[in-house]
Amino acid sequence: MNTQELNKLILKALQLRSQIEMYQNDPSLLESYEQSFNQLKLKYGQYLEEILFEIYDEHCADSPVENLEKYLSTNGVEVEADDFPGVKAQLQLKTEPLRFVLHNPQTTYEETVWKAA
């Protein structure tokens, strides 16, 4: 597994996604993002989906696994996490180092639930 390439692809997609959230009507940004995300999904989609399945199985069994693209948003995906009882936590994909984190949006606490080797 080339985690450096995976990290670069995710970072590029995250940066484009962030720009799209600021400049919503820019067709060239949308096209660039779609190309970047499709390349990420083609090369590493199955790998990331397996990681998500393991995370959900261990930490958020009561929540459905969402589309990979949703984890690239600024807020991540809202889940019911066992580590945050009674609170809607958010699961996010972050880079440098590449990892998935659970955090409570009402506090600064976050827990890394997967990190690239």
Q: What does the pLDDT look like over 15-41, one tens digit per residue?
A: 998 888 888 778 899 999 999 999 999
pLDDT band at 72 (very low <50, low <70, confident <90, very high): confident
pLDDT over 90, % of the chain = 57
Whether 59 shows a pLDDT value over 80: the answer reads: yes
23 vs 42 pLDDT, higher one: 42
How confident is the prediction for the chain on average, in pLDDT?
A: 90
Helix (H) or strand (E) holding 34: helix 27-59
Rounded Cα distance, 12 and 109, in Å: 26
The predicted model scores a pTM of 0.87
111 within 8 A of 83, measured Cβ to Cβ: yes
> Which residue's structure tokens are 């990892």?
99
Instruction: Round to whole Å and give the CA distance between 10 and 71.
Output: 10
SS3 label, residue 44: helix
Does residue 57 register a pLDDT over 90? yes
